[in-house]
Amino acid sequence: MSKLRSLIAFTLCLVVFSSTSQAWFGFGHMAVAYVAYQKLTPEKKTRVATLLKKNPYYNTKWKALIPAGTPSDQRDLMLFMIAATWPDEIKSDSKYVNDGTSGGKPPSQRADRMAKHGVW
């Protein structure tokens, strides 16, 4: 029960104190990610952790959000939850928004969205 309380407190802190987590759906994305993570096999959790390390925000933003003293077995879960908000974060990042070459369509409708998002 103590771990669950810590996780809830951590999530609430992210929502309240992090400017990137104040989006309306940030808390919802993280809550869904928490539930989804519980359903992953250990092999899938390892694979997800490997994939998350490829994201440019992994070392620059996400790891800094993990509180000091967080048990190692909870870090990957927290990083997974934080990563669930990434698609909303990049909506305002100029590297991922419409650059005028796709007829004004939003990134989700452009044929070149994979080029903009790389492996993501």
Segment 20-76, tens digit of pLDDT = 444 456 888 899 999 999 999 999 999 999 999 998 889 999 999 999 999 987 999
Q: What DSSP designation does 105 have?
A: -
Q: What is the pTM of this model?
A: 0.62
Residue 68, φ and ψ in degrees, nearest 5:
-60, 140
Domain that holds residue 26: 2-117
**pLDDT computed for residue 56 by the predictor:** 87
Residue 43, φ and ψ in degrees, nearest 5:
-65, -40
Q: How many domains does the chain have?
A: 1
Contacts with 45 (C-beta within 8 Å, 6 or more apart), sequence order: 37, 76
Q: What DSSP element (H or E) covers 46?
A: helix 42-52
Residue 102 has pLDDT above 60, yes or no: no
Which pLDDT tens digit goes with each residue over 86-95? Answer: 877 777 666 6
